[in-house]
Amino acid sequence: MDPTLGPPHGLSSVKYDLIIIGGGPGGCMAARTAARDGLKVLLVEKNNEAGRVTRFCSRSLRLGAGGFSSNAVATDENLKRISVTIEVGSQHHRIHLQNMPSDAVIDYRGELNPVFNETFVSPSGHSFSRFHSSRDIEAFVIDKEQLLQGLLAEASAAACEIRAGTRCQSIQDTPDGVSVVLKSDTGEAVLSARRAIIADGSFSPLIEQLGFNNGRSAGPGRLKFMSFVIDRVTFPFPELRRVRLCVPSLHPGIVNLGPWPPGMFQLSAAASVDADISLPEVLNKFLTNSPFSEIFAGSTVVAKQACNMDRRPAIRDAARGNVICVGDNAAFAETAIKGALGCGFTAARCSKEAIERGADGANALYNDYWQHAFNYFSREYNRRVAGVRDFTQALQDAETDILFEWISRHGVSGLPNDIIIENRHQLEQELPEICAKLLPRDRDSVGRQPAH
């Protein structure tokens, strides 16, 4: 940073260059990047221990550009801005954010659990997989707390001040800088800075306060999630896959089974918050009284976790004035871990740029990144993923078996919606009744589901 730069006019009490609110992947990555770039940074985290994860997350770090609901749409090219590779080492591993500056790399010292494929299974056991080959690693289930703690240690080593147990109550953005009201056990304080990064996750009251949500519609509504952590499972498929159990009569959605470090598994399900569905009951049924109960014979549920996810359309301009929104607070549903890391890195660089050269250009840089790193803004993408009804809601168990048997017999792989769209003409001829249910004429009311 240019040491000759004084505080902005009219804000002589500015102590920090940058205040970062929230210590998830977005905030921690922003803190480390900005501190290493020489900014004077404060990170505040409301949890008493920074680097602790309290919101449920399946912790799967997808490699490459893949991740959201479609493997096939051309605009997924844009996801390359948040493409990830992992260099596996003996002492530690290196997570590289591709297509970004070479210092967008993270030393990670936690466990890596490779996931080779995702397998969708029907009530009678017909199955197909997301990827044609199960030889390549698709994702790693990681220890998210280790990831965050590593970033925080590096931020701290670069002189970032970290205050845990400190909640940001409110924020004001003025032409001269930002001021935040912070609350902790020891009382309240008002601090100011040239810029702020808000990385406080979903349901953010702070971005609401600043007007970022003005004009943002409610979207297809909220989802509720429930996850059981279980100690052992007899996998019906080769180990280290993620399995999607599909029994529409037990749950009009997919029930996911996958690894949960260290050495455990998680069984999870989602539903609209408005649906009269008890997710604990659904998961208990899958454990004890479903076509898949044998998989869980002798397993114990060791923990249960729940959370909600908002599916509001993404904010188009996530950088405005002296504030940049990072991660889930501005996203459609979620940015995922790798997306939050990418946003955090870019927001830190743009904050430095704003301090040195002015906010307008720097905010425009961030907004360009935000709009192209994810495909929330692509009409083609949204049209495609909205074009098919969710098979778990449209089909009965027997129809699901017929569809999965067809997919398996034809040796097709992919996500269900991609498969249905790509093979629609053949499906229309060979399974006309099922096809009519999956591809109704009026498709406007069909929403997109995040895929975990």
Ligand X SMILES: Cc1cc2nc3c(=O)[nH]c(=O)nc-3n(C[C@H](O)[C@H](O)[C@H](O)COP(=O)(O)OP(=O)(O)OC[C@H]3O[C@@H](n4cnc5c(N)ncnc54)[C@H](O)[C@@H]3O)c2cc1C
Region of 171-179, 327-335, 392-400, 438-446 interacting with ligand X (CB under 6 A)? 327-335
The answer to the question of residue 342 lying near ligand X (CB under 6 A) is no
| Position among 34, 84, 191, 199 found at the interface with ligand X (CB under 6 A) | 199
Nearest to 65 by CA among 256, 339, 334, 449: 339
Residue closer to ligand X (CB basis): 326 or 435: 326
Region of 19-27, 238-246, 288-296, 434-442 interacting with ligand X (CB under 6 A)? 19-27
Region of 8-16, 185-193, 337-345, 388-396 interacting with ligand X (CB under 6 A)? 337-345
CB neighbour burial string for 172-197, b if at least 16 within 10 angstroms, e if fewer = bbeebbbbbebbeeeeeeebbbbbbb
Site string for ligand X, 109-148 (x = CB under 6 A): ----------------------------------------
The answer to the question of residue 264 lying near ligand X (CB under 6 A) is no
Q: How far apart are CA 86 and CA 112, in angstroms?
A: 10
Contact between 307 and 443 (Cβ < 8 Å): no
Minimum CB distance to ligand X, residue 286 (Å): 17
Nearest to 58 by CA among 139, 149, 150: 139
Instruction: Report the DSSP beta bridge partners of residue 44.
Output: 21, 163
Residue closer to ligand X (CB basis): 305 or 408: 305
Residue closer to ligand X (CB basis): 123 or 339: 339
Cis bond leading into 416, ω under 30°?
no
Minimum CB distance to ligand X, residue 189 (Å): 13
| Position among 59, 241, 285, 312 found at the interface with ligand X (CB under 6 A) | 59
Q: How far apart are CA 41 and CA 4, in angstroms?
A: 18
Minimum CB distance to ligand X, residue 274 (Å): 17
Nearest to 255 by CA among 289, 310, 292, 297: 292
Site string for ligand X, 213-252 (x = CB under 6 A): ------------x---------------------------
| Position among 7, 36, 38, 56 found at the interface with ligand X (CB under 6 A) | 56
Minimum CB distance to ligand X, residue 402 (Å): 30
CA 170 to chain CA mean position, Å: 25
Minimum CB distance to ligand X, residue 46 (Å): 4
CA 121 to chain CA mean position, Å: 24
Residue closer to ligand X (CB basis): 113 or 127: 113
Minimum CB distance to ligand X, residue 168 (Å): 4
Outline where 132-218 has alpha helix (H).
144-157, 205-209
Minimum CB distance to ligand X, residue 341 (Å): 8
Residue closer to ligand X (CB basis): 177 or 258: 258
Minimum CB distance to ligand X, residue 427 (Å): 30
Write out the binding residues for ligand X, residues 88-107 only, by CB under 6 A.
Answer: none
Nearest to 437 by CA among 389, 403, 402: 389
Q: 429 in helix, strand or coil?
A: helix
| Position among 31, 34, 41, 60 found at the interface with ligand X (CB under 6 A) | 60
The answer to the question of residue 55 lying near ligand X (CB under 6 A) is yes
Contacts with ligand X: how many residues (CB under 6 A)? 35
Region of 57-65, 77-85, 91-99, 423-431 interacting with ligand X (CB under 6 A)? 57-65
| Position among 31, 57, 323, 385 found at the interface with ligand X (CB under 6 A) | 57
Query: What single-letter DSSP state applies at residue 142?
Result: E
Nearest to 130 by CA among 172, 67, 181, 222: 67
Phi, psi angle pair for 309, to nearest 5°: -135, 130
Single-letter code of the amino acid located at 369: Y
Q: How far apart are CA 31 and CA 11, in angstroms?
A: 23
Q: How far apart are CA 431 and CA 438, in angstroms?
A: 11
Rounding to the nearest 10 degrees, give the CA dihedral for residues 36, 330, 354, 98.
50
Single-letter code of the amino acid located at 194: R
Number of C-beta neighbours around residue 392 at 10 A = 20
Minimum CB distance to ligand X, residue 261 (Å): 12
Minimum CB distance to ligand X, residue 199 (Å): 5
| Position among 73, 309, 318, 388 found at the interface with ligand X (CB under 6 A) | 309
Q: How far apart are CA 181 and CA 408, in angstroms?
A: 57
Write out the binding residues for ligand X, residues 21-50 only, by CB under 6 A.
Answer: 21-27, 44-47
Number of C-beta neighbours around residue 245 at 10 A = 23
Which residues are at the interface with ligand X (CB under 6 A)? Answer: 21-27, 44-47, 55-61, 167-168, 199-201, 225, 307, 309, 327-328, 334-338, 340, 452
